[in-house]
Structure 1
Amino acid sequence: MAATLAPDGSAPSQGPAGPAGPRPASPQPAAAPPAVLPPLQGRARALGTLALSLATFMNVLDTSIANVSIPAIAGDLGVSPTQGTWVITSFAVANAIAVPLTGWLTRRIGPVRLFTGSVLAFVLASWLCGLAPSIEALIAFRVLQGLVAGPMIPLSQTLLLSSYPPALAGTAMAMWAMTTLVAPVMGPLLGGWITDNIAWPWIFYINVPVGLLAAGITWSIYRRRDPGPRRVPLDVVGLGLLVLWVGALQVMIDKGKELDWFASQQIVVLAVVAAVGFLFFLAWELTEANPIVELRLFARRNFLLGTASLSLAYGLFFGNVVLLPLWLQQSLGYTATWAGIAMAPVGLLAIVLSPWVGRNVGRIDPRRLATVAFLGFGFVLWLRSGFTPDVTLQHVLVPTVLQGAAMAFFFIPLQSIVFSGLGPAQLPAASGLSNFVRITAGAIGTSVFTTAWESRTALHHAHLTEGLDAANGAAVATLAQLQASGLTEPQARATLARLVDQQASTMAVTDLFHVSALLFVALIAVVWLARPARGSAGAAGGGGAH
C-alpha cells in the first residue's frame, strides 16, 4: 500500500481506501488530485520545524503550567482551591474532545488553515485567560483554549513529516518528540517561577508572542501547500456521543480522587454515562459511512499495538512524572522550585540522543529501539524504588538524567510503529486518534498514581503505628533521644509522628516505582507483537504491513 505523503500532510482526494474497505464517495464531484509538492529545503525547513515545535511546546506546556498556580489563582479570584482545580479540568476535558476530531476538521478546513487558525485562536484564548475577572470567566476561556488546541499536536506531526523527505522522517519525529516530552516537565517549574516572581496571568500571557511567531512563520511557509477545504458530511450523532462520553470520563478522572471515587454517587453516574456513551459511540462510528472519528484504524495491527504500547507507557511515564515532585515537596520538604530543578535535567540526554534515534529509526527495527526505552525506564524506576527519606538531591538527579536517555528512545520508535503502513489519507486521523488515546492514558495514569500513593501511604502508616506504644523499645528510645536533644515530650511525639508520616509516604512511593519498573518491562512483549514495515521511519505510506 505504498503511497506518497503530500507536503501539506493531507491526502489527495482519491487516496487509498481504509482497512475496512472502500468508503462512500464524497458528495462533491471528484477532483483531480493536487500535485505532490517536494519536501521543504534549507532555511524554509528549519523555520518550519521551529514554528511547529514552538506551537507544540506551547500547547503541551499549558497542560501542566497551571498546576502549581492553582492556590494563587484561587486566592486572587476569591474561590476555594477545589474550585480552582476546574482551571485544569476544563482545559483537559475540552482538549480531549477536540483532539480526535482532527481528521474530520483537516478534511473540512485544510491542514495549514486549520493549524494556523488553531494557533491564533489559542493565542486569543490565552490572552482572555490572563484577563479573566472571575473564576467562571477563566473556566470558560480555558474550555475555549482546550477546544482550539485539539488539532495543534496531531497536525504539527503531519506538517512536520511533510517537510522532510522519507529518509529524514525519523529526524522530524525526533524534533517533535523532544518538545512533547520536555514540556510537561518544564511546565510546573516555569509556572511556579512566574507565579512567585511576576503574577499568575503571565502563565497565559507568555503564549501570546510565542503563538503569534509560530502562526506567522507557519502561514508564510506552508500556505501555498494547503489543498484547501473539502465538503465533508458532519457526523452529528457521533460528535454528540463523543462529547458525552469523553466529557464524562475526563470529569470522572479529574474529580475522582477528590470525591473518593466510587464512594461518590456523582462519580458512579459519570462512570455509567461514560461507559454507556462509549458503547453507543463505538457502535455508531463503526457503522457510519462518514464517521467523525475513524475507529477502523484500530483494525490495523501496527496502529492498534503501537497506540496501545505508546499510551500505556505514557500513562506510566506521566503518572511517575507527577508523583516524584509531589513526594519531594510533601514528604521531603522541597519547594516547588527545587522540585522543578530535580526534574529539569531529564531533557539533557533526550536532546542529545533524539537526533541519533531519528536518523536510525528507519534502519534499525523500531521494536528494538522501543525495547531500549522500556528497559531504560524500568532501570530508572528500579533505582528510584530504593529511595529513602534521607535521599540527597544528587541521588535524585542520577535517575532523572538517565531517564532522558530512555525518553529519546521512546516516542520516535513507537510513533514509527503507529504510522507504519498507513496511507496519506489516514495520517491526520491516525495522529489525532493516537494522540487522544495517549493524552487520556496520561490523565488516567495521573489519577491512578496519586490515588494509589495516598492509599499505600495510609496502609504503611497503619502498619508503622501499630507498634508505636509504650512497650515498643525503639519508640521509647527515639522519644528519649529527642527529649535529650532539648525537645519537650509533646514536641518529641510530634517529631516522631512526622518521621512516621515521612517514612510511610516514602514506602508508598517506592512501591509504585517498583511496580512501574515491572510494568515497563512487561510492555516489551506488547511492542514485539507489532509488525512494522522496514525502513518506513514512521512515514505514512512506508509499507503495507498491518
Structure 2
Amino acid sequence: MSRLFSTRPGDDGLPGPERRLAVLALILGTTMAVVDTTMVNLALPSIAADLGVAPARAVWVTNLFQVACAAFLLVFAALSELVSRRRLYVAGLVVFAIAALGSALSRSLETLLVFRTLQGVAAAATLSIGPSLYRSIFPSRLLGSALGLSSLVVATGYAIGPALGGVVLSVASWPWLFALPVPLALGAVGLAWKALPRETGRRGGFDGPGAVLAMTMLASFFWAMDRAGDGGSLPEALAGLAASLIAGVGFVARQRRAPHPLLPLSIFRSPRFSLAVLASGLVFVGHGLAFVALSFLYQQGMGFTPLETAWLFTPWPLTIMLVGPLAGRLADRVNPSLLSSAGIALLMAGLASLAWLDAEAGVLDCLWRTALCGLGFGLYQPPNNRELMASVPAERSANASGVMSTTRTVGQSLGVALVGACLAAGVPIQATLWAGMAATLLAMLASLGRVGLAGEAMRARRRAAAERVQ
C-alpha cells in the first residue's frame, strides 16, 4: 500500500502525501453509494409493510435510484469538464446527504421515491467521474494499482452492505438505513473539498440537446430491462427499447455535429478503448446474470434459505477484495490485456462449474465455484479498467470514466433482464448460466483482440528502433 503514495522524479498526479486524503475522499464516496444500495434492498419488505403499500410498489425505491443514476452518468461526466470534477464530486456528496436525510424522514412512498430519485442523481455525479479522479491523483506508473484499490473498495462495499443492513434492521427501523450514510457523506465533503485536485473548467458551451437524448436513451433502456426482467409486460419492454434506440440514433447524430459534444465520439477511434469497453459490457452482462440466477438456483433449485444464500455469495466479493489490488499492481508491469483475458477465462470456468452443479451439492461445492468466479472477476477488472482509462488522452479521462460507468450499468441490467426472459420462457435456471458464459466468451475474444494490438504495437516499436540503429 505504501507504494501507492511513493513519489518519483517526473511523476504526474498529486505528490505522494497529498494522495492519501484525496483517496480517502474517493473511498468514502464510493463506499457510501455501494453500501447504501445493497442495504436498502434488504429493507424493501419492511418499507412496504410500514408504509402500507404493495411489495411491487416498494421495489421502485430501488428501481428509481438505479434509473436516475444510469440516466445521468454521461451527462455528469461531460458537465465535470465545465465546472471541474472537484466541484461536481462535492456537489454530488452534498445532494446525496440531503436526499438520504429526506429519505429517512419520509412517511409516504411518494415522498420516499422523490428523495430516492434525487439520491440516484447525486450518486451519478460521484460514480461517473470516480475513475478519472484516480487517474488525476496517481501518476501513470501507478494507474493499475490505483484502479485495483478502487475495485477493492467496491467489492468491500458489496460484501459488508447486506450484513450491515441486516444488523441495522435487527435493532432499528428502516429509516435508519437511509440516515446511516449522512455523516459519512458529510465527512467525505470536507475531505473532497480540501484534497481533490483543483482544476480550471474548460470554456465553451454544454450540449443540452445531447444531454436530453442521452438521458432518454439510458433511462428508456433501463426501464425496458426492468420490465423484461421483473415480470413486466412484453409491450412495455419493447416500447422502452424502441424509445432507447430512437434516442440513441439521435444522440449519435447530435454528437457528430455538436460544437461541444457531450461524448466526443473520437475516443472510440482507439481500438484499445473500444475493445476494453466492449469486454467490460459483456463481462458485466455475465456478472449481473450470475448474481440473479444464482439466487434462484440456491433457493429454488437447491433448497437453501435466503440467509444461507447470502453467505454462499460472499466468496465472490471477498475474493475480489484479495485479488483486485494484486491484479491492478501487476497491470502496471505486465500487459493488462493478458491479465484481463486470464481473468475472463477463470470467470468462464467458474460459471461453467456452477451450471453443472447438482441439486444435491453441498455448501463447499457452491463456495469454491463462487470463489472461482470472484477470482476471475478480480483478475479481470482492474487491468481492463486500466487499459480503458490509459488508452485515451488525459483531457478525455472524464468522458472515458462516464463511458466505463455507463457500460457497467447497462451490462448488469441486461444480464438481469436475460434471467427474467429465460425464467418467463421456462428455461432451466442452470441453462441460464450458460448464457452468462457465452457473454464472457465474447468478452474473451475482445480482450484477446487487445492482446494482438499490443503485440503489433511492440513489433512496430522494435522495427522503428532497428531502423534508427541502421
Q: TM-score range by the shorter chain?
A: 0.7 to 0.9
Q: What displacement does 1:37 show?
A: 6.9
1:251 equivalent to 2:171? Answer no
Contact 2:312/2:367, CA 8 A, preserved across alignment: yes
Q: Residue 446 and residue 258 in structure 1: after superposition, are their counterparts in 2 closer, same or farther (change >3 A)?
A: closer
Q: Residue 272 and residue 137 in structure 1: after superposition, are their counterparts in 2 closer, same or farther (change >3 A)?
A: same
1:384 equivalent to 2:354? Answer yes
Q: What displacement does 1:219 show?
A: 1.9
In 2, the alpha carbon distance for the partners of 1:250 and 1:408 equals 26
Which has the larger displacement, 328-337 or 150-159? 328-337
Which has the larger displacement, 384-393 or 364-373? 384-393
In 1, the alpha carbon distance for the partners of 2:406 and 2:329 equals 27
Give the alignment partner of residue 122 of structure 1, picking from 96, 114, 125: 96
Question: Map of 1:80-229 to 2, 5 A cutoff?
Answer: 80-184=54-158, 186-222=160-196, 225-229=197-201
Contact 1:349/1:404, CA 8 A, preserved across alignment: yes
Q: What displacement does 1:119 show?
A: 1.2
What residue number does 1:542 align with? none
Give the alignment partner of residue 247 of structure 2, picking from 270, 274, 277: 277
Q: What displacement does 1:363 show?
A: 2.0
Which has the larger displacement, 190-199 or 163-172? 190-199
Q: What displacement does 1:195 show?
A: 3.2
Q: Residue 522 and residue 105 in structure 1: after superposition, are their counterparts in 2 closer, same or farther (change >3 A)?
A: closer
Structure with the higher fraction of residues in helix conformation: 2
Query: 1:340 is aligned with what amino acid?
Result: A
Query: 1:277 is aligned with what amino acid?
Result: A
How many pairs are equivalent? 445
SS of the residue corresponding to residue 360 of structure 2 reads: coil
Contact 1:98/1:148, CA 8 A, preserved across alignment: no
What residue number does 2:14 align with? 39
Q: What displacement does 1:429 show?
A: 0.9
Question: Map of 1:6-21 to 2, 5 A cutoff?
Answer: none
State the structure with more CA Rg. Answer: 1
Give the alignment partner of residue 425 of structure 1, picking from 367, 371, 395: 395
Give the alignment partner of residue 528 of structure 1, picking from 444, 448, 461: 448
Query: 2:403 is aligned with what amino acid?
Result: L
How big is each residue's C-alpha offset from its partner over 1:339-373, in whole Å with a ceiling of 9 and x where there is no partner?
A: 22111122333233323222221221111101111
Query: 2:298 is aligned with what amino acid?
Result: L
Question: Map of 1:259-338 to 2, 5 A cutoff?
Answer: 259-262=231-234, 264=235, 266-338=236-308
Give the alignment partner of residue 411 of structure 2, picking from 441, 466, 474: 441
Contact 2:145/2:332, CA 8 A, preserved across alignment: no
What residue number does 2:422 align with? 452
Contact 1:102/1:429, CA 8 A, preserved across alignment: no
What residue number does 1:7 align with? none
Q: What displacement does 1:260 show?
A: 4.4
In 1, the alpha carbon distance for the partners of 2:296 and 2:24 equals 32
In 1, the alpha carbon distance for the partners of 2:28 and 2:35 equals 10
SS of the residue corresponding to residue 449 of structure 2 reads: coil
Question: Map of 1:328-407 to 2, 5 A cutoff?
Answer: 328-407=298-377
How big is each residue's C-alpha offset from its partner over 1:96-149, in whole Å with a ceiling of 9 and x where there is no partner?
A: 111111332112211111111211211111111111111111111111111111
Q: What displacement does 1:333 show?
A: 4.0
Query: 2:355 is aligned with what amino acid?
Result: S
SS of the residue corresponding to residue 307 of structure 1 reads: helix
What residue number does 1:50 align with? 24
> What TM-score does the superposition give when structure 2 sets the normalisation length?
0.88
In 1, the alpha carbon distance for the partners of 2:220 and 2:434 equals 32
Structure 2 unaligned segments of length 5 or more: list them.
1-10, 458-470
1:517 equivalent to 2:441? Answer no
Contact 2:141/2:332, CA 8 A, preserved across alignment: yes
What residue number does 2:468 align with? none
Query: 1:375 is aligned with what amino acid?
Result: A
> What TM-score does the superposition give when structure 1 sets the normalisation length?
0.76
Query: 2:369 is aligned with what amino acid?
Result: P
Query: 2:25 is aligned with what amino acid?
Result: A
In 1, the alpha carbon distance for the partners of 2:343 and 2:228 equals 31
In 2, the alpha carbon distance for the partners of 1:181 and 1:240 equals 32
Which has the larger displacement, 239-248 or 78-87? 239-248
In 1, the alpha carbon distance for the partners of 2:422 and 2:158 equals 21
Question: Map of 1:481-520 to 2, 5 A cutoff?
Answer: 508-520=428-440
Contact 2:226/2:232, CA 8 A, preserved across alignment: no
Q: CA RMSD in A?
A: 2.4
What residue number does 2:207 align with? 235
Contact 1:189/1:336, CA 8 A, preserved across alignment: no
In 1, the alpha carbon distance for the partners of 2:259 and 2:299 equals 52
Contact 2:272/2:387, CA 8 A, preserved across alignment: yes
Q: Residue 453 and residue 170 in structure 1: after superposition, are their counterparts in 2 closer, same or farther (change >3 A)?
A: same
